[in-house]
Structure 1
Amino acid sequence: MMNSQPNTIEELMQRANDMAGVTLGDVAMEHNTPVPANLKRDKGWIGQLIEMELGATAGSKPQQDFLHLGVELKTIPIDHNGRPIETTYVTVAPLTNIQGLTWEQSVVCHKLSQVLWIPVEGDRSIPVGERRIGSPVLWRPNANEAHALQQDWEEIMELITMGKVDKVTARHGEVLQLRPKAANSKALTESIAEDGTVKLSNPRGFYLKINFTHQILTNAFN
């Protein structure tokens, strides 16, 4: 059972702060949700559980989780040193009909304009139900972060526009990267070819690099 939407950012932050130090198992019990033995087949389980607790309604739509508050929700698994242990998925990358698309119009810019980060213990040696939720961080990109995000997005989108999507690797970008986004490599979608026609490629997603999200958490807790 999902909790109701919070009406204000203060109410959202109160709920998020109330979760700090609580285990995933405790939250799951409140919602009568079974805890998976591991996350191999339930990769999105933690995010969905936190969404239920906080009252997020967007699901997988290309909009912020709390659209009425202008806030995106991101759970972030961390190790015992507080460092993120994986990149953070932002959104699917558009591969066609992108002529004239600007950074300000992009889903990446929209989603990252304000993010509520919920750190969660991610050490695989801790049973899923015993992993604790950390203190929340409400973040807006500062001028340097916003510039770095825009620069990476524009460079990657330029390569996509030129039909070079298959040449973009995870090493492109300082803070933002483009990676295949599909359950398997057989999934295909339309993209621009180098001669301007349409070809088939694997779907791609934008992800935030670990060093970037680590810096966000470090800045917040220091």
Structure 2
Amino acid sequence: MTPKTEQELLFRAKSLAGLTFSELAKELSIPVPENLTRDKGWVGTLLETALGANAGSKPEQDFQHLGIELKTIPVNSQGKPLETTFVCLAPLTQNSGVSWESSHVKNKLKKVLWIPVEGERHIPLAKRHIGYPILWEPSLQQEQRLKRDWEELMEYITLGKLTLINAKLGEVLQLRPKGANSRSTTKGIDQYGQIIDTLPLGFYLRKEFTADILNNFLYEK
């Protein structure tokens, strides 16, 4: 059942804190894979199912009626993020006139329900615990940093400088290949305005940025 209010969603998320993946999966009759090598999206799907999210991989938020995106974030024993966080695919064509205000990145990050989960590989997947949820909205300063990076990265795309894009660009937001495998391709535009085959690119939040979100929450508590 999809939660009808923000309070209902948060209450439901808090009720999951402390459970192991196997405990929650058993409640939902979902099999637990041995590891995430072939099931990279399994943790996200498990929590989406438990919380009643219904957007899947669409551009809108997972809880569109509430304007809230759901993001699981694997952390180590010190509560530090173990990996970058995928936000959405980058528009490599039909992107003229797209602004930060109308971008998928801004839409996805307007309000996020972060759920930290144990992510260290020495812990068997079934025994990893779900953490306490954090409902976050970017501060003015955080949004300015995101906007600045987004505009810089989108300039590379719109000018056809796809070959110059690398993971070092962007202070808090980065662009990286996002595909099922290295053979995945999509349409893009080169510096001459020609349509080309290229790797799909995704926007990712850097670990330092998400670490700040988690730290600020702990400090506020």
Matched, 1:197 2:188: no
CA shift at 1:200, angstroms? 1.3
Percent identity between the two aligned chains: 53
- Which runs of 4 or more aligned residues in structure 1 lie more than 4 Å from their structure 2 counterparts after TM superposition? none
SS at match of 2:30: coil
Q: 1:168 aligns with which of 165, 168, 175?
A: 165
Superposed, 1:104-119 pairs within 5 Å as 104-119=101-116
- Structure 1 unaligned blocks of 5 or more: none
Corresponding residue number in structure 2 for 1:217: 214
Where do 1:1-222 residues align within 5 Å?
4-222=1-219
Check the 8 A contact 1:88/1:209 in 2, yes or no: yes
- Contact conserved, 1:103 with 1:153, CA < 8 A, in 2? yes
Distance 1:99 1:201 in 2: 18
Alpha-carbon distance in structure 1 between the residues aligned to 2:18 and 2:35 = 21
* Coordinate RMSD, CA, aligned: 0.6
Cα pair 1:166 1:201 within 8 Å, conserved? no
Contact 1:176–1:208 under 8 Å retained in 2: yes
**TM-score, normalized by length of structure 2?**
0.98
Q: How many residues end up aligned between the 2 structures?
A: 219
Q: Deviations over 1:126-182 (max 9, x none)?
A: 111110011000000001100000000000000101101121101100000000001
SS of equivalent residue, structure 2 residue 101: helix
Q: CA deviation at 1:188?
A: 1.3
Distance across 2 between alignment mates of 1:184 and 1:7: 37
Paired AA for residue 128 in structure 2? R
Q: Deviations over 1:62-119 (max 9, x none)?
A: 1100000000000000000000000000001000111110001010000000000000
CA distance in 1, matches of 2:153, 2:131: 33
Gaps of 5+ in 2: none
Whole-angstrom CA distance in 1 between matches of 2:162 and 2:150 = 13
Contact kept, 8 Å, 1:120 with 1:132, in 2: the verdict is yes
Name the TM-score, length of structure 1 as normaliser. Answer: 0.98
Once residues 122 and 185 of structure 1 are traced to their aligned partners in structure 2, the CA distance between those partners, rounded to angstroms, is 25
The code of the aligned residue for 2:171 comes to E
Structure 1 position 51, deviation (Å):
0.3
Equivalent-residue separation in structure 2 for 1:146 and 1:191 (angstroms): 27
Give the letter for the 1:159 counterpart.
Answer: Y
